[in-house]
Copies of this chain bind each other. A is one copy, B any other.
Amino acid sequence: MTASAARTEPRPAPRKRAGNGAARPNDADEIGLDALVGHAGYAVRRFQIWIFQDFIKTLGEVDIKPTQYSVLTVIGANPGLSQMAVAKRLGIERARLVHLLDSLEQRKLVKRVKSKADRRSHALHLTAPGETALAKFKRLAAEHERHVVEKIGKENRERLLQILAGFT
């Protein structure tokens, strides 16, 4: 066992407070998380909420959410993709992608082109204004990414990306 021993096992609850009239920690941030501190999922979820909130705020002026950004980015880098291909790649339900694309198409950022090879499917492309807009979104997203660096540090962000590289 190293100094940073595995904390996979449930550890004894930190001194339970008396449930009686004694001062209970209803007030401050002295409420113990107990086993939660040993669960990666808890920290990851809280971090994910923080990071999405910052993304939404930073790209608020252009009204682009993380999922919309991911769809635009993938279409921009792979013009002609079908809706199924985008949905599978990003782990979005194809039924949901329909509504996402409806919105992006109404905003004239994306266009659905009827595929000649397979007339069931649509080839997805950015419009000319869509290309311009995406460039701006990427600049704002880079600004958001700098907020992440400010929050957890440059090296920690690098490590995080390396650790999670498998979850493409």
> Which residues in A have some Cβ–Cβ distance to B below 8 Å?
4, 6-10, 13-14, 16-17, 19, 21, 24-27, 29, 31-52, 55, 66, 70, 73-74, 76-82, 84-86, 89, 91, 117, 121, 123, 125, 138-139, 141-142, 144-146, 148-149, 151-152, 154, 156-168
Contact = CB atoms under 8 A, between A and B. Distances in A.
Contacts of A156: 163
Given A13-B77, A40-B160, A79-B16, A6 B154 contact: yes
Given A9-B142, A16-B77, A25-B81, A44 B47 contact: yes
Contact of A33 (B10, B50, B73, B157): B73
- What copy number does this chain have within its complex? 2
A138 to B, nearest CB: 4
Q: Is the interface of A mostly helix, strand, loop or mixed?
A: helix
Given A26-B85, A73-B36, A77-B16, A142 B8 contact: yes
